[in-house]
A and B are shown apart, each in its own frame.
Chain A
Amino acid sequence: MNLFFYIAAAIALISTIMAISGRNAIHSLLFLILSLLAVSVIFYLLNAPFIAALEVIIYAGAIMVLFIFVTMMLNIGIERSTEKKWLNPRMWIIPSILAAILLTDLILAIKHLPASPSVDQVILPKQVGISLFSTYLLAVEIAAILLMAGVIGAYHLGSQKKKVTHRFLIKN
């Protein structure tokens, strides 16, 4: 089990370094997704399968897709003539190898798991839910208010406003 942890940690570190040192934003985002997947494997190995699923669904799924959409909308660092360059293997061979190692790591880790994990080892989603809605109920409400503020703020900032000038300033 320890070997799986070290492999996932190495992939997380390598892909994070590639993400923060890349030139092209899209390539860096794909490396960042790989890093998040590696951290999710670590969560799984740390007996937190619920959090591992949340990491894949929300972090790597929703948040990173938001990043990629904005990067594609801005269309920065990408020339249309470079599409041919993307098709050569040099661009995608390193991420593919890292992702394949991670997948093998996860499959082997699942296979090596004992048949029925003792319940006191794994923290089940039920315990998390009970704790979330009893001890931390106030924090849930505050998070809800924060999300509401985020939605309103993103809507307000994202709307393209018309330029308003005072009527005295309008030149005829």
Chain B
Amino acid sequence: MLTVPVEIQILLAGILFLLGLIGLLVRRNMIFMLMSIEIMFNSAGLVFIIASTYWKQPDGQVMFIFILAVTAVEVAIGLALLLQVYHHFKTLDADSVNKLKDHN
């Protein structure tokens, strides 16, 4: 059976979350920003599964299913918004969509 220490497993999930966060902060293309959010959701789910295995309880897996539902809704709404943004501005650059910003 798997005998990797649980700290290493949590560390893997933490690094994945950090990569997603870096991607969200660095990339300006909206598709890449949505992908980074996906990576962060996935690493959060990984932590739930690690905890579920560690304590041998099914609750973590139930939470993963809820994360899956939330992710599906988030992706659907996000991609619909992204299509509208592209339709209006003809670009996906997040910095160029700043009509609500004060220009002073």
Contacts and interface: CB of A to CB of B under 8 A. Distances in A.
A45 interface: yes
Contacts of A94: none
Interface in A104-128: 114, 120-121, 123, 127-128
Task: Please classify how large the interface on chain B is, using the bins under 10, 10 to 19, 20 to 34, 35 or more.
Answer: 35 or more
Contacts of B39: 16, 19-20, 32, 35
Residue among A12, A13, A130 with the most chain B CB within 10 A? A12
Contacts of B50: 46
A58 B16 contact: no
Nearest to B27: A20
B68 A59 contact: yes
Nearest to B54: A46
A147 B62 contact: no
Interface in B2-35: 2-4, 9, 12, 15-16, 19-20, 22-23, 26-27, 29, 31-32, 34-35
B99 interface: no
A74 B73 contact: no
Interface stretch (A85-93, A95-103, A131-139, A164-172): A131-139
A154 B79 CA distance: 8
A78 interface: no
A153 B84 CA distance: 13
Contacts of B4: 2, 5-6
Contact of A154 (B3, B65, B76): B76
Contacts of B64: 51, 54
Residue among B4, B20, B36, B57 with the most chain A CB within 10 A? B4
Contacts of B92: 74, 76
Contact of B66 (A6, A46, A70, A143): A143
Given A19-B39, A157-B77, A139 B61 contact: no
Contacts of B84: 157-158
A8 to B, nearest CB: 9
12 contacts: A2-B3, A13-B12, A20-B22, A20-B27, A32-B38, A43-B49, A54-B64, A70-B83, A131-B62, A153-B77, A154-B77, A154-B80
Nearest 4 A/B pairs, CB to CB: A20-B23, A150-B73, A157-B80, A154-B76
Interface of A: 1-2, 5-6, 9, 12-13, 16-17, 19-20, 25, 28-29, 32, 35-36, 39, 42-43, 45-48, 50-51, 54, 58-59, 62-63, 66-67, 70-71, 73-74, 76, 114, 120-121, 123, 127-128, 130-132, 135-136, 139, 143, 146-147, 149-151, 153-154, 157-158, 160
